[in-house]
A = this chain, B = another copy of it.
Amino acid sequence: MDKPVRRTAPPELIAELKTLLGERLSTSGAVCEQHGHDESYHETASPDAVAFAQSTEEVSAIVKACAKHRVPVVAFGTGTSLEGHVAALEGGVCIDLMGMNKIVSVRPEDLDVTVQAGVTRKQLNEFLRDQGLFFPVDPGADASLGGMAATRASGTNAVRYGTMKEAVLSATVVLPDGQIITTASRAKKSAAGYDLTHLFVGCEGTLGIITELTLRLYGIPEAISAAVCSFPSVEAAVNTVILIIQSGIPVARMELLDETSVMAVNRFAKLDLLEKPTLFFEFHGSQQGVAEQAETVGAIAAEEGGERFTWAAKTEDRSKMWQARHDAYYAALALKPSCKGLTTDVCVPISRLAEAIGDTRADISQSFLTAAIVGHVGDGNFHTIFLIEPGNEKDLSEAKRLSGRMVERALAMGGTCTGEHGIGTGKMHYLEKEFGPAVDLMRTLKRAIDPLNIMNPGKVIRV
């Protein structure tokens, strides 16, 4: 790959932005450095300046100024992406959207809310709690909703409530020429024209910048309960999941921890879970409904050899039960405290999931790296957390090699190279493999919408 050519912001552009934003434009080295990377191991690159925007109109003015000078623009939220999404590879201006953190309006009757892009998912849920509503999409980080939309994020609730693809009803977007558009009405469904909303959900800031979102909400269920169950094999656990989904039981969460992950959380949180592949369930519904769901799930699990099926209806017990799942990442890191985690992400048709996980475990057992597996198994999505010594090139290249094998297998099984983390810079070569000639169409879209290639250049696809 050619080294990207820097398109540095010229002094006139900096002056223009200074006039527009005053103190809210920073060229400080520390600020630029902090905005030049996400949480991953990928290449970092500082922007020339960081603009702290406070409104859609400001974002539009910044983008217009950058377009005039043909200077790149990178949108920035919480910086918690995992595939190098925010590195300013060609320099330019980073727009930090975290000052746009207003909840614009909530409409309980319509079960929707309009938020600015910098509102985080936890901020939104805290705001909603008193109204008996919640927003279900929950990636690991307390990410900004704009960033979550831009990367098509999901999390543990997706099996029941969907991903950001289903969650976003409409977006306000600043286009590469600075024009402001709204992608859709607030109607729950529409057959009007091309689906602009889904053009921007998942575009990773390469086609425009999302500044506002209208999102679907749900009523907080009357009852929530949880269950945990151990299985003799990953296959038995996955078969249980398949049967549950086929039965139409509306399980809210179904998460898998492999033996290594269970061992790690046992050590980390002093638990005594059986060190076997384990499923964590959450049920949402009426009191009677969640009891019935748990009962049916318990019966299906038993048929597949599930052991120690434990069910909890009380909030406290339920939280304790799920704590193990929430701790899984940090528990894995604690296995080798000097190491950092490198997290992979693939998604396959669920009929191939046991095989995909089995092959990955076989790879790990033949490798010198330690790794734990967690999976959003209802969706066929799983992650391997590789423990790598910071600065150790051998560790890093081995983790990349194994991540590559996971992707190759996922593609061969009819799956995708990323279930929820996105492409960024880290998976551009896999995108070509996954889509073949369809990547040319993506390129056509990129060229037509962003002819100057100023929107987050060097990400998703090569132009």
Contacts and interface: CB of A to CB of B under 8 A. Distances in A.
Interface of A: 107-112, 132, 151-154, 158, 162-163, 165-166, 175, 179-196, 198-199, 201-203, 207, 218-219, 221-222, 242, 245-248, 250, 284-286, 288-289, 292, 296, 345, 347-351, 379-381, 410-411, 414-423, 427, 430-431, 434-442, 444-449, 460-461
A208 to B, nearest CB: 9
B351 A445 contact: no
Contacts of A411: 185
A248 B224 CA distance: 12
A349 B110 contact: yes
A446 B439 CA distance: 17
Contacts of A108: 246
Nearest to A419: B189
Contacts of A163: 189
A195 B199 contact: yes
Contacts of A248: 218-219, 221-222, 284-285
Contact of A441 (B109, B449, B460): B449
Contact of A189 (B347, B410, B449): B347
24 contacts: A108-B246, A109-B242, A109-B246, A109-B350, A112-B349, A152-B190, A162-B166, A163-B189, A179-B440, A181-B437, A187-B416, A187-B419, A189-B379, A189-B416, A191-B421, A191-B423, A192-B427, A193-B202, A193-B431, A194-B446, A196-B441, A198-B198, A221-B248, A286-B296
A442 B195 CA distance: 9
Given A289-B289, A445-B445, 19 more contacts: A107-B351, A109-B349, A151-B191, A181-B438, A187-B347, A189-B347, A192-B423, A192-B430, A193-B202, A193-B434, A194-B199, A194-B207, A196-B442, A198-B199, A248-B285, A288-B288, A441-B449, A444-B449, A445-B448
Contacts of A247: 219, 222
A379 B185 CA distance: 13
Nearest to A181: B438
B192 A431 contact: yes
B189 A165 contact: yes
Contacts of A349: 107, 109-110, 112, 186-188
A222 B249 CA distance: 10
A420 B188 CA distance: 11
Nearest to A446: B194
Contacts of A415: 185-187
Enumerate the 4 nearest inter-chain pairs by beta-carbon distance, A residue then B residue, closest first.
Answer: A448-B448, A198-B198, A190-B416, A109-B351
Contact of A185 (B154, B166, B218, B414): B414
Contacts of A410: 187
Contacts of A184: 416
A188 B167 CA distance: 15
A194 B442 contact: yes
Contacts of A112: 349
Contact of A417 (B192, B416, B420): B192
Nearest to A132: B246
Contacts of A445: 194, 199, 445, 448-449
Nearest to A220: B248
Contacts of A199: 194-195, 198-199, 445
Contacts of A189: 154, 158, 163, 165, 347, 379, 381, 416, 419-420
Contacts of A288: 288, 292
